[in-house]
Amino acid sequence: MTKTVHHWIGGKTVEGTSGNWGPVTDPATGAVTTQVALASVDEVDAAVAAAKDAFATWGTSSLAQRTTILFKFRALLDANRDAIAELIVAEHGKVHSDALGEVARGLEIVDLACGITTQLKGELSTQVSNRVDVASIRQPVGVVAGITPFNFPAMVPMWMFPIAIATGNTFILKPSEKDPSPSLKIAELLAEAGLPDGVFNVLHGDKVAVDRLLEHPDVSAISFVGSTPIARYIHTTASANGKRVQALGGAKNHMLVLPDADLDAAADAAVSAAYGSAGERCMAISAVVAVGSVGDELVQKIRERAEKIKIGPGTDPTSEMGPLITAVHRDKVASYVHGAAAEGCEVVLDGTGYTVEGHENGHWIGLSLLDHVPTSAKAYQDEIFGPVLCVLRAETYEEGLALINASPFGNGTAIFTRDGGAARRFQLEVEAGMVGVNVPIPVPVGYHSFGGWKDSLFGDHHIYGNDGVHFYTRGKVVTTRWPDPSEAPAGVDLGFPRNH
Ligand code: NAD
């Protein structure tokens, strides 16, 4: 028996009526476990109408009311970490401990939203001119939508909605149709925390739903996280329709290893960051650039570690790496490894053809390691989004930096070195939005913002942190004069007002 997943609109489950359904598989078994309703244009319109109605009161609700609900939600989220992680494992396939990690990082943004009172304090300048004061305030933008990818079904929505609703907006989440259940659990917890109906809605769907959100006149802003081609499309389309938009795209994250680095630490970091979540992370390290003479030793150390990784179902506490999201994706990842030798790569580890006993229909693939990868190889140029690590060689720091900066992507990057001066140069010279110094996955904490450069982000705002607060609010500046009753009126003056 497959279960069905429906929409959450206006504070309750709303059955899908479009007649269109999307299959959700358990990646560890390959079995279709769930059918998710895919919204029609009319269903999108119903969700937007519910969010618009709710905005009429939520947009002017007190900060005390909002933060009281958010603190309750935080406690419920904390108590339900395991339940959410189980849903992630069942539909995404990542291992349970990794799923708990994504819930923890999402919770950080809820923490930030609980303290929104500080972020929304505004600014006041008194007596800027005679008896004139100026206040800068920020107000919500209205109904906002978030369109999210499959690889973090709990964390990425939490990059968006806690700040959106804390700042007074109402929210429509369009999660990935590949793993839709965690978002519904979150909706239930928000309702239990006392969030008024319609403030947070979940609309399942595909391109039909997304396109309607992008054009709907009552949607003011779009947050998107996903692949680069779709991010570019979302940014172009939503902007053309007059919406505020932030669209985070794909990545090819490089790790530069200088000759003076601690090679054991660098190899540990490369293996953890390349193969964690089977490489299905936008901050995964997918290219190591070995500088000078360290290449051979580093590749050997990576290989030794990679060979020990235990692959298995995410429900098995001894598994370190789970399956890929779909069989189609698994086959695409394998095709990069199959084509690598012909493109001039040295295939050190070939993880294709891997299977797990008792789970033969799961979307398995083992770990692959490609060395001496030329920049012309497709395995280097494309975002593979699987457990395939490319190692490139560079003679000098400058050559390695130039290689990284020539990439069209600029999400995260890292340098491994003991040389503070080189690390400082790298921070300033590398063209990427997030930089790690001896830190392979430099995902910023909640009170800093997350975002890449170049083809990894379209729009002016990074996500969460101060940028998130700015994205979900509009600035307003109020200039006030209260006349002194003892003074005569200033009289008519057609000159441009000056401060004195
Ligand atoms: P995706 O682009 O295929 O899908 C993302 C969302 O867009 C989903 O909700 C999907 O339903 C929707 N969508 C897909 N095709 C569409 C279309 N033609 N028109 C309108 N909407 C469409 O991405 P994915 O495969 O779910 O996720 C993996 C990608 O996301 C990777 O490229 C990864 O790097 C990226 N990602 C980026 C970040 C970041 O912060 N930059 C974070 C996580 C994931």
Along the chain (500 residues), what's the average pLDDT of each consecutive run of 10 residues? 94 97 98 98 98 98 98 98 98 98 98 97 96 97 99 98 98 98 98 98 98 98 98 98 98 98 98 98 98 97 98 98 98 98 98 97 98 98 98 98 98 98 98 98 97 98 98 98 88 91
3-state SS, residue 410 = strand
Token reading at 170: 């109402």
Q: Which of 41, 44, 92, 151 to mutate to test the pocket of ligand 1 (most atoms within 8 A of CB)?
A: 151
The reported pLDDT for the residue numbered 198 is 98
Cα-to-centroid distance, 224 and ligand 1 (Å): 8
Which atom of ligand 1 lies closest to the CA of 174? 9
Rounded Cα distance between 411 and 359, Å, is 35
Q: Which of 88, 91, 150, 252 to mutate to test the pocket of ligand 1 (most atoms within 8 A of CB)?
A: 150
Buried b / exposed e over 44-71, threshold 16 CB at 10 Å, is: bebbbbbbbebbeebbeeeeeebbebbb
Site residues for ligand 1, CB cut-off 6 Å:
147-152, 156, 174, 176-177, 206-207, 210, 225-227, 230, 248-251, 282, 383, 385, 411, 452, 456
The reported pLDDT for the residue numbered 214 is 98
Cα-to-centroid distance, 170 and ligand 1 (Å): 22
Cα-to-centroid distance, 326 and ligand 1 (Å): 14
Which atom of ligand 1 lies closest to the CA of 231? 2
Strands 7-9 and 409-410: unpaired
User: At 491, phi and psi to the nearest 5?
Assistant: 85, 175
Domains, the chain, ordered by start? 3-249+456-478 (3.40.605.10), 253-437 (3.40.309.10)
Beta bridge partners of 24: 34
Cα-to-centroid distance, 227 and ligand 1 (Å): 4
User: At 169, phi and psi to the nearest 5?
Assistant: -90, 165
Q: Which of 38, 159, 203, 206 to mutate to test the pocket of ligand 1 (most atoms within 8 A of CB)?
A: 206
Under 8 Å between Cβ of 214 and 240:
no
pTM over 0.95: yes
Closest Cα partner for 385 from 415, 353, 363, 355? 363
The reported pLDDT for the residue numbered 335 is 98
The reported pLDDT for the residue numbered 490 is 83
Which atom of ligand 1 lies closest to the CA of 227? 32
The reported pLDDT for the residue numbered 489 is 86
Under 8 Å between Cβ of 180 and 209:
no
CA distances, 408 to each of 143, 380, 382, 383 (Å): 33, 12, 10, 11
Catalytic annotation, residues: 282
